[in-house]
Amino acid sequence: MMLGGSFFVALMRNLISVGLMLSFFLMLDRPRFSMKKTIWCYGVFGVFIVGVYSVWYLFENASFVQYAAFSSLLVVGIFCSLMSSEVLYLSLYKMALAFYLFSVCAFCGVDIARWAFGGNIWIDVLVRLICLVVILVFTWKKFRKRFLGGVDYLIEEMDLFSAATLFVSIMLGAIMAYWPNLQGFSIFNMVRAFLILFMAGVLQYAILHLYIHLGQEHYIQAQKELLEVNEQLLERQMELMRESEKEAARIRHDVRHHILLIREYVRKGEMEQLLCYLEQYEEDVENRSVKDICRNRTVNSILSAYARKAKSQGIQVFMDVKAAEGLPIRETDWVAMLANAFENAIHGCIDSGALQQEIHIYIAQKGNKMVIQCRNTSAADVIFSRGLPQSDKGGGLGVFSIQKAASNYGGETDFVIEDGMFITRILLNLPASCGREVR
């Protein structure tokens, strides 16, 4: 779709087109490198690609008109994807949006120039420039903040198939601007191209917001589950406190009897019997004392509460936990990971129907890595989707909460079934200052 023109006119068109695609992509991107280095690379690449395409126009005008638009999508797309830190399919989608807007600029410039100004070349350039400014200002002021604020939700919801579907649909709309039948100008062709581009744009905008909205809904659901887990943990803690109060009252009651008996031994001078009695009493106190699982009070509280719940269900609990106090992990994240993993393990044991049900908890710090592993007896028919266990009751697994908490520390999660045991693995990256191992 070209109205011809000199090398200088082609240079201006190329500058507008490449500038639009690169600027739009960069506004919506989280670059791989520092912003200063990224802008410098974008500038050098932009100047280079504009120069190459302008020379192409000068020496091979016919092939330029045929292939320039689609080849620019490939070349610019590869460069932007390499510069981006996002997943590949998100980069593809943003590149498709950039190409769509480039097509809108080309369509508006050429058809307005042909419709009202007799195909004036400078009107074509001016309209493209106005479209460029409007698109970039709207993207910067209205769209960029909303997109970057929801990009994590978008990544959670989108996969390669859905991104490919969106990519194909928006590309079909953009290609209509270059369809051969539209080269001959008519009001019908102009209206048809406008409607196709408009419908493709509205559809993409609606789907984009749908994905972001779904991601936000899942995040809110995960926060709700985390609050419920916190509530359950508090209830467990209250139960422990009430039982501790009852135990303290019993001890106070028994102390009177112990004092009377000790006084009687002393009065009669039966020191051997008194020493024997005191040794028995000391052994009884030791057996009744509650030993801490680890030095970290938050971890200790969570594991104690859920271990008590598991034992009340007849589940054996084995723990090898080394977690120091003062680790740079928020209490809410400990709850999200440990409480959800332990709660899931209890449900997994109960649902397994096995005669012997076990839960094994392992926590250790190795260098600046924190390793958390939970193994529990499990049924063999657990359903996985995209590597994550799915609940047949429609949620409540808290897997998303575990993943979200782990991601706060650049961590990784893994869920598998091995030898009849469901295994939850969590690896957290702690600051370098926390590199000392806890023993």
Structure confidence by residue, pLDDT tens digits, 18-49: 999 999 999 999 999 999 999 999 999 999 99
C-alpha 112 chain-centroid distance: 44
Closest CA to 347 of 384, 376, 320: 376
Which of 76-80, 167-171, 242-246 is the most confident on average?
76-80
Among 215-229, 249-263, 346-360, the range of highest mean pLDDT: 346-360
Quick one: CATH architecture of 297-434?
2-Layer Sandwich (3.30)
Task: Round to whole Å and give the CA distance between 125 and 193.
Answer: 19
Give burial (CB, 10 Å; 0-12/13-18/19+) of 293: buried
Lowest mean pLDDT across 146-155, 221-230, 344-353 = 221-230
Range of weakest confidence among 50-64, 151-165, 372-386: 151-165
Cα gap 107→177, rounded to integer Å? 6
Band of residue 182 on the pLDDT scale cut at 50, 70, 90: very low
Strand-strand pairing, 369-377 and 383-385: unpaired
- The residue that leads in pLDDT, 286 or 404, is 404
Residue 422 pLDDT > 90: yes
pLDDT confidence band for 52 (50 / 70 / 90): very high
φ, ψ (nearest 5 deg) of residue 366 = -125, 105
pLDDT at 396: 46
How many Cα atoms sit within 13 Å of 234 on the Cβ side? Answer: 7
Buried b (16+ CB within 10 A) or exposed e, 194-205: bebbeebbeebe
Nearby residues of 23 by Cβ (< 8 Å), 6 or more positions away: 136
Q: Are 438 and 321 in contact (CB under 8 A)?
A: no
- The residue assigned the tokens 């690169």 is 22
Q: Is the pLDDT of residue 175 over 90?
A: no
Listed by start position, the domains of the chain span 7-223, 297-434
- Among the ranges given (21-30, 178-187, 316-325), the one the predictor scored with the smallest mean pLDDT: 178-187
Q: Looking at residue 308, what is its pLDDT?
A: 85
pLDDT digits (tens, 9 = 90+) for 425-438: 999 998 876 655 54
